[in-house]
Amino acid sequence: MTHDIALVPGDGIGPEVMADAIPLVERVAAAHGVDLAFTEYDWGSERYLETGAMAPEGFLGMLADHDAILLGAVGHPEVPDHVSLHGLLLPIRKRFDQSVCRRPSILFDGVESPLRGYDGGDIDFVVYRENTEGEYADVGGREHVGHAHEVAVQSAVFTRRGTERVVRAAFEAAADREGRLTSVTKSNAQAHSMPFWDEIVREVGAEYPEVSVESLLVDAAAMDLVRRPDAFDVIVASNLFGDVLTDIGAEVTGSMGLAPSANVDPGGEHPSMFEPVHGSAPDIAGDGVANPLATVLSASMLLAHRGEAVGDADASAAGETLWGAVEDQLADSSAPRTPDLGGDAGTASVLADLRDRV
Ligand code: NAI
Ligand code: MG
């Protein structure tokens, strides 16, 4: 079966990693009889610096007909981050109703956590982050600009539909996993949106009596992700909280360079987008040492998603092969590793080694 994939390498380490990772992904797919037809779009900050726009007019329309999107990273030291984010990434998530962001945090065998006393497999949780509204809603403004009394207002938006969608997806995941859900809020301080969130968790939870629900305030959750990361199974959180907590999740499981994500339209109407959790890493961009595994794992999630969406067992199997090769490599102490994992290998040699394992 053919899957038509939009490829947006983006900025910094994004294109660097993608250039070597895509041939591997194509190879694994082909070995399973899956044809991945990539269409590459060179959108991003370089384009912004040349033309004043991150992507051409109508770029969302160009993406709409693809089956899925694979994205590298977006962000450039010379472009304000709110410009790059609002010019490319956030419009994609919103336009394509990708309201559920799924981010697994797994301490793989052979990877060292910066926390003492955890071995491979000890930490394994998944964060469901609301992805199209909440604190990242584009609602607000500036008044009295230039005056001493200038003011900025930024409003958070929580809809019943958006909240319910992510909460339901999280309950479904918990029911399939160990049956434990942690809902993260700040209901003591944000007395409108967060009690609303809590209500929806209770309502949806009534349909999942087999799932136990724990509620944590976000500051306590940040602490507990460091103190007892092995105790979590599924976490559900708002856009901002999920964003912050998944960086902690990536670090306690070894590296930002290992954390993949899926931005999913649960309605299945629009293309979903798969991308590493990390950004464009300008501090190491161009050095050829970026860890490509977060991108490979994201491609694996894309294949699994396509497999499920259209009943293509071969795509699911290709996704499993990729994931398994990463596990295999990480568990092998003689395999090349990038510096973020304590090694001295480059991106290309990690991918070359991975190719020998698929
Ligand atoms: P970052 O994730 O790019 O980097 C944070 C740290 O992790 C850096 O020290 C970096 O070298 C390291 N790191 C990240 N990915 C790595 C990899 N694959 N291998 C090895 N080390 C890796 O976050 P930062 O520095 O806060 O942001 C840089 C730019 O990326 C900014 O412009 C920001 O707005 C953007 N950004 C974009 C995201 C996206 O495209 N989804 C997400 C986060 C940030
Ligand atoms: Mg983030």
Please write the tens of the pLDDT for every residue from 155-213. Answer: 999 999 999 999 999 999 999 999 999 999 999 999 999 999 999 999 999 999 999 99
20, 243, 340, 353: which one is catalytic?
243
Query: Whose alpha carbon is nearest atom 17 of ligand 1?
Result: 257
Rounded-to-integer distance, Cα 346 and Cα 339, Å:
8
Residue closest via CA to ligand 1's atom 4 equals 281
**Residue 232 domain-assigned (yes or no):** no
Could you confirm whether 136 is annotated as catalytic?
yes
**How many domains are there within the chain?**
1
Q: What is the pLDDT of residue 3?
A: 98
Q: Does residue 133 form part of some domain? A: no
In this predicted model, what pLDDT tens digit does every residue of 117-154 receive, in sequence order? 999 999 999 999 999 999 999 999 999 999 999 999 99
Q: What are phi and psi of 62, to 5 degrees?
A: -65, -30
Give the CA angle between residues 69, 27, 106 to the nearest 5°.
60
Single-letter residue type at 221: A
Residue nearest ligand 1's atom 26 by CA:
279
**What's residue 21's pLDDT?**
98
Cβ(180)–Cβ(212) below 8 Å: yes
- Residue 268: CATH number of its domain: 3.40.718.10
Query: The domain containing residue 275 runs over which residues?
Result: 1-99+260-358
Beta bridge partners of 261: 275
| Structural domain includes residue 255 | no
Could you tell me if residue 267 is inside a domain?
yes
110 falls within a domain: no
- The pTM is what? 0.97
How would you class 96 by CB atoms within 10 Å of its CB: exposed for 0-12, middle for 13-18, buried for 19 or more? Answer: buried
pLDDT in tens, 289-304: 999 999 999 999 999 9
- The answer for residues whose C-beta is within 8 angstroms of residue 23's C-beta and 6 or more apart is none
Model pLDDT for residues 220-274, shown as the tens digit of each residue = 999 999 999 999 999 999 999 999 999 999 999 999 999 999 999 999 999 999 9
Q: What percent of the chain has pLDDT over 70?
A: 100
Residue 147, in any domain of the structure: no
Q: 301: which 2 tokens?
A: 């999630």
How much is the average pLDDT of 57-75? 97
Query: Is 208 in the active site?
Result: no
By the CB criterion, residues less than 5 angstroms from ion ligand 2 are 243
Tell me the percentage of the chain whose pLDDT exceeds 90. Answer: 100
Q: Is 59 inside a domain boundary?
A: yes
186 classed as catalytic:
yes
Q: Other CB atoms closer than 10 Å to residue 8's CB: what's the count?
A: 27
Three-state secondary structure call for residue 201: helix
The pLDDT of residue 101 is: 98
Helix (H, G, I), strand (E, B) or coil at 234: strand
Q: Is residue 298 part of a domain?
A: yes
Band (341; pLDDT cuts 50, 70, 90)? very high
Q: At what angle do helices 13-31 and 313-331 cross, to 10 degrees?
A: 120
Instruction: Identify the active-site residue in 4, 247, 314, 332.
Output: 247
Cα dist from 309 to 174, 211, 264, 315, whole Å: 20, 25, 11, 10
This model of the complex carries an ipTM of: 0.98
